[in-house]
Amino acid sequence: MAQSTITNQLGVEGMTCDNCVRHVTKALESVPGVASASVDLAAARATVEYDPAEATTAAMASAVKEAGYTLKTPV
For the chain, the domains span 6-72
pTM for the structure as a whole: 0.91
Contacts of 11 (CB under 8 A, 6+ apart): 44, 45, 46, 71, 72, 73, 74, 75
Q: How far apart are the first and last CA of the chain?
A: 32
Q: Give DSSP secondary structure letters for 29-69.
A: HTSTTEEEEEEETTTTEEEEEE-TTT--HHHHHHHHHHTT-
Q: What is the pLDDT, as a whole number, of residue 28?
A: 98
Phi-psi region at 72: left, alpha or beta (left = phi > 0; alpha = psi -120 to 50): beta
Topology at the third CATH level for domain 6-72: Alpha-Beta Plaits (3.30.70)
Predicted local confidence at residue 8, as pLDDT: 94
CB of 27 closer than 8 Å to CB of 19: no
Instruction: List, run by run, the mean pLDDT of 10-residue segments along the chain (75 residues).
Output: 81 97 98 98 97 95 97 73
Identify the pLDDT of residue 55.
96
Q: What integer pLDDT is reported at residue 1 of this predicted model?
A: 38
pLDDT of 40 reads 98
